[in-house]
Amino acid sequence: MGRMNRLARYLNRHISGNVYSAERVLSAFSTDKSILEIQPKLVAVPNTTSDVRKLARFSFELAEKGISLGLTVRGKGTDKTGAAIGNGVIVSFKEEMNKILEIDPRQKLVRVQTGVSLRELNNALSLHGLTIPIAATDRTIGGLIGNNYFGPMSYKYGGILDYVQQAEVVLSNGEVLQTTKLTKRMLKHKQAADNFEGQIYRDVANLLEREQTAIDELRTVGELDNSGYKNIVKVSQNGIFNILPLFFGAQGTLGIVTEVILEAEFFEELPLFLAAEFPDFETASKVMMEASLLQPALMDIYELELMKEAENSGKKVAFFDEHLPSGLLLLVGFDDHRRRARQKKIHRLVRLFDENISYSVSNDDNYEDFLEIKEILSAYLNDTSGGARVPFLDDVLVRQEYLGEFFKGLSELERQFGLKLPVYGSVLSNVYSVRPELNLKKQSDRVLLFKLLKRYSAMVERLQGSITGGSPEGRVKAIVVEAEQDVKMAEINAEIKAIFDPQNIFNPGVKTAVQLSDVVSQLRHDYDDGIIE
């Protein structure tokens, strides 16, 4: 019997869930939605927080003896940066740790295990007229927290951090931390505790005091950037100390969030949509600027090249007979409570169009056509006639004033690399993605991938943007983030990691100390991952 089989048997005697060492199970958990592949040694499916605590304590004690068996928590495996895979133990939450534990409609509060998907949660909340208004339905709550998710409607409704009120977190030594908002007096009480939680509160408070100048500089940036542990700026505000924000965007590297309490919102009306085609960015930008002032719920753009590619799969924007030769599709949605207010805003935008602009407004008869734009995007992403549209240039932040230069920069990259790089994304959250078509079986394409990542990152940085604007660095983006990172910030990130995870058992190789050679060796030789998202 192999060593891993013996470990699996030992752990199965001590937890109520299951631990697997079968090759077919390990293979099934060796990929996420990223371009990487890492086979774990074991896969654990815990039933309870107690199971998670035992797994953490076991890994921690092994690490103290010099034996590395890291823990990587995984929901549905949709991470595109390689943060849901690892060579230790995959701790899978989607099978058992996925319960809706309690709903309090009067206070609009819900308590859940973090393996529940947002779709399942919102289906349950809808029975009470409530919702969590984040457009990421298939992701688990834990995945949303780990990636500090900000969706296309975040401009109006915020991201996942705005809805989580409290969290239960398993620490690296197996202790449990219940996050809460602390006054100075309450913080001192926490710091006085002779346990790991008390040590964490002491060390984080000391770090904030000692590095106040560097951390204050982060506050002034005013832009979304999920690299490192930038939510350290939100831990101490207005006399209140709350450690909760640090776990958002941490990708499971600081602790394992097992349960959360969220505050829901009342369900809003479905948006009234306007879709219009523009021949170029300059023409569209005038409408974008005006629309931004009208507080839309969403404003998305899709290059028409993307729409034409999708037609190869039979998908087409139903309300336009024929696309322009090139340009942009702009989709704007208003969900104001009064229908008349929504209509007035649509009419205000339409008055900006000249007679050559094709547009359509949603109504009861064509509403499904507007919702199908998401399916058209899926058709584009899954048209793999020339290779796979691999996700490694997703979710970069580019502010609206630099968007024109972003398009020009992409055109230059297209010429340099001989690739098509049509853009799609959210104007309101300033987050955009491109999906080059590559064949990872070819060595030339594998080399090209890393060259393109480096050039693309440098271009975004030059435009005052962030390659980690819409999602953290994980493994893939970390190879360029670490190269560009400020030395002081790198030191602060390393210290935060050491405070929470001194034995480096939580998702090792993610976010910090990522080596290019490791990522190159982990690169898949084929991207065959079912439906590409």
For residue 284, is it within any domain?
Answer: yes
pLDDT given for residue 135 in this prediction: 76
The dihedral sign for the CA sequence 117, 123, 127, 130 = positive
* The last residue of a domain, from among 421, 441, 461: 441
Tell me, yes or no, whether 61 lies in a domain: yes
Which residue type, as a one-letter code, is found at position 9? R
Q: Which residue, of 95, 111, 134, is where some domain finishes?
A: 95
Residue 491 lies in a domain: no
pLDDT at res. 1: 47
User: Residue 86 falls within a domain, yes or no?
Assistant: yes
Structure tokens at 336: 């104001």
Q: Is residue 494 part of a domain?
A: no
Q: Is 329 helix (H, G, I), strand (E, B) or coil?
A: strand
**Average pLDDT for runs of 10 along the chain of length 533:** 81 96 96 96 98 98 96 95 97 96 97 96 95 84 94 84 97 98 97 97 97 83 78 94 98 98 89 94 93 93 91 84 86 92 95 92 93 89 81 94 96 96 94 94 94 96 92 95 86 97 97 90 84 70
* CB within 8 Å of 255: residues ≥ 6 apart: 169, 170, 171, 172, 177, 247, 500, 501, 506
What is the rounded distance in angstroms from the CA atom of residue 436 to the CA atom of residue 379? 15
Give CA–CA dist 280/288, Å, rounded: 13
Q: Is residue 355 part of a domain?
A: yes
* Residues 6 or more apart in contact with residue 18 via CB below 8 angstroms: 12, 44, 45
CA distances from 527 to 2, 34, 392, 424, 480 (A): 31, 9, 12, 21, 22
Of 84, 76, 74, give the one whose Cα is nearest residue 138. 76
Residue 66 falls within a domain, yes or no?
yes
* Tokens of residue 236, six digits: 């101490």
Handedness of CA 445, 40, 515, 422 (dihedral sign): positive
pLDDT at 529: 65
Number of separate domains in the chain: 2
> How does DSSP assign 146-194, residue by residue?
HTT---TTHHHH--GGGTEEEEEEE-TTS-EEE---B-HHHHHHHHT-S
The CATH number that applies at residue 282 is 3.40.462.10
- Written as one letter, the residue type at 126 is S
Could you say which of 441, 469, 494 is where a domain stops? 441
Dihedral over Cα of 58, 63, 65, 68: its sign: positive
Rounded to 10 deg, the angle between the 196-210 and 212-219 helix axes is: 80
Q: Read off the CATH number of the domain in which 91 is found.
A: 3.30.43.10
pLDDT at 482: 83
User: For residue 85, what are the domain limits?
Assistant: 3-95
The neighbour count for residue 56, using CB atoms within 10 Å, is 23
In a domain, 250, yes or no: no
